[in-house]
Amino acid sequence: MENFSANSAKSFIGKKVNLHLKDGAVIVNVELTRFHKGSGKNSLIEYTAARKYRATRIPLRNIAWAEMLNRNLMQISRNKCY
């Protein structure tokens, strides 16, 4: 598996993803909003959580990979009434 790089991070900007971190944690259902290029390995990814407006930044080197969410599956469950 390849490392999560700046190019792959830029391809997910504006999309909802689950971020899998190198320590095994998962940040669920976030939208990647911006990429902040830093010197050397100090690049940051900015994301917003679902239904929140405040952005959070995380170092790019802490992210193992990103999993894009299936929007069709989310729309089905949201429209279902119980």
Over residues 27-71, the pLDDT tens digits come to 999 999 999 998 867 899 999 987 777 899 999 999 999 999 876
Which sequence spans correspond to the domains of the chain?
6-79
Name the band, by pLDDT with cuts 50, 70 and 90, for residue 4: confident
CA gap 3, 73 in Å, rounded: 28
Mean pLDDT of all residues in 15-28 = 93
Q: What type of residue sits at position 16?
A: K
Asked: is 6-79 a CATH 2.30.30.100 domain? The reply is yes
| 62: DSSP letter | G
CA gap 33, 55 in Å, rounded: 8
Listed in sequence order, the residues at least 6 apart from 71 whose beta carbon sits closer than 8 Å to its beta carbon are: 16
Mean pLDDT of all residues in 8-30 = 93
What pLDDT score does 69 carry? 86
Question: Does residue 72 carry a pLDDT above 80?
Answer: no
CA gap 51, 59 in Å, rounded: 22
